Amino acid sequence: MNAATSPPPGESKQARRAAVRAARRKITPNSSALLAEQLAARVLDYLDSSTGTVTRVGLYLSMPDEPDTSVLLPRLVQAGIEVYLPVCEPEYQLRWAHWTPEVQLVDSARAPVREPVGERHGARLFDTVHTLFIPALLVDEHGLRLGQGGGYYDRFLPQVADKATRIAALVYADEYVPAGNFPVDAHDRPVDLVITPELVHTIDP
């Protein structure tokens, strides 16, 4: 998978998204399953090595063209960590609901994702969330992220900018790219770290 690393000069965000999605679709089911296991191991290693006790994280249910989080989710719960997943609300806002393997999931009314049923929480929840793991298509060496284009996380991340929550993007190895690989906007907020199935990359402030 190498379409992520060599864009033509001046390529738009939409074109970059299309190229990365096309590359991801070439990943075989067997490879995807192996990468999901590796990604879960990297995330758990990162949390195990973190300072203090990690009791709560934010994550997401991966879509078919994203690194698979289905292995990671139950393992976080098995490790005694509370997991909160996003719920899409009007005006491209996110709220968060507690997830366990027993929680019912329903189709979102606003995005092509599944969402947990239950009480919804706003940004105040993140006073006690150690790390928020978010999706991305590409992340550059400065932590700037090319997302799926829905705008939900662009609106949510500023709401937790003053909190201690670390922001981690989950991507494949060749989607962690040099600066200038994709267009960025002035309002883009960098993530704190990038986790691939192989490595954890901490972004220098």
* Tens-digit pLDDT profile for residues 40-52: 999 999 999 997 8
Mean pLDDT of 179-203: 93
**pLDDT value at position 38?**
99
Query: What does pTM read for this prediction?
Result: 0.93
Strand partners, 134: 169
Cβ-Cβ contacts under 8 Å for 203 (sequence gap 6 or more): 141, 142, 143, 190, 191, 192, 193, 194
Per the model's pLDDT, the better-predicted residue between 201 and 1 turns out to be 201
* Tens-digit pLDDT profile for residues 132-171: 999 999 999 999 999 998 889 999 999 999 999 999 999 9
In the chain, pLDDT over 90 holds for what percent of residues?
A: 84
**pLDDT value at position 52?**
81
Secondary structure of 39-105 as H, E, C letters: HHHHHHHHHHCCCCCCCEEECCCCCCCCCCCCCHHHHHHHCCCEEEEEEEEHHHEEEEEEECCCCCE
| Mean pLDDT estimate for the chain | 93
What whole-number distance in Å separates Cα of residue 89 and Cα of residue 55? 26
The answer to whether 166 and 175 are in contact (CB under 8 A) is: no
Full set of structural domains in the chain with CATH: 3-202 (3.40.50.10420)
pLDDT for 204 beyond 90: no
In the chain, pLDDT over 70 holds for what percent of residues?
A: 95
**pLDDT value at position 86?**
98
